[in-house]
Structure 1
Amino acid sequence: MIELKNVNKSFGSKKVINNLDLVIPDGQILAIVGPSGGGKTTLLRTLAGLETTDSGTFLLDGEPFDPTSSKEQEQVVGVVFQDFQLFPHLSVLDNITIGPRLVLKQDKETYTNKAQHLASLLGIEELLSNYPYQLSGGQKQRLAIARAMAMNPKVLAYDEPTSALDPALRQQVASLILELKADGVTQIVVTHDLVFAEEIGDHVLKVEPIK
Structure 2
Amino acid sequence: MIELKEINKQFGEKEVIKNLNLVIPDGEILAIVGPSGGGKTTLLRTLSGLETIDSGTFLLNGKAFDPTQATEHEQVVGVVFQDFQLFPHLSVFENISLAPKMVLKQAKEVYTKKIQELARTLEINELLTSYPFQLSGGQKQRVAIARALAMNPSVLAYDEPTSALDPELRQQVQSLILSLKKEGVTQIVVTHDLTFAKAIADQLLEVSPK
Instruction: Please report how far the alpha carbon of residue 113 of structure 1 lies from its aligned counterpart in structure 2 after TM superposition.
Output: 1.1
Residue in 1 that maps onto 2:124: 124
Q: Note closer, same or farther for the CA distance 1:72–1:148 as it changes in structure 2 (3 Å cut).
A: farther
- Aligned residues of 1:91 and 1:130 also touching (Cα < 8 A): yes
- Aligned residues of 1:31 and 1:197 also touching (Cα < 8 A): yes
1:6-60 per-residue CA deviation (whole Å, 9 max, x = no partner) reads 1111111111111111001110100000011011111111111111111111111
Residue identity matched to 1:188: I
State how far apart, in whole Å, the 2-side matches of 1:14 and 1:47 are: 19
State how far apart, in whole Å, the 1-side matches of 2:128 and 2:56 are: 42
Residue identity matched to 2:127: L
1:68-87 superposed matches below 5 A = 68-71=68-71, 73-87=73-87
Alignment of 1:21 with 2:21, yes or no, is: yes
Instruction: Structure 1: state its 5+ residue gaps.
Output: none
- Aligned residues of 2:119 and 2:125 also touching (Cα < 8 A): yes
- When the two chains are superposed, the root-mean-square deviation of aligned CA atoms in Å is 1.1
State how far apart, in whole Å, the 1-side matches of 2:99 and 2:43 are: 24
Residue in 1 that maps onto 2:93: 93
1:73 is paired with a residue whose SS is: coil
1:65-87 per-residue CA deviation (whole Å, 9 max, x = no partner) reads 12123436331000101100111
TM-score (norm 2): 0.97
1:74 is paired with a residue whose SS is: coil
State how far apart, in whole Å, the 2-side matches of 1:120 and 1:34 are: 34
Instruction: Structure 2: state its 5+ residue gaps.
Output: none
Alignment of 1:135 with 2:135, yes or no, is: yes
2:73 is paired with a residue whose SS is: helix
- Aligned residues of 1:73 and 1:103 also touching (Cα < 8 A): no
Residue in 1 that maps onto 2:151: 151
Residue in 2 that maps onto 1:173: 173
- Aligned residues of 1:33 and 1:207 also touching (Cα < 8 A): yes
How many residues end up aligned between the 2 structures? 210
Residue in 1 that maps onto 2:192: 192
Residue in 2 that maps onto 1:11: 11
1:129 is paired with a residue whose SS is: coil
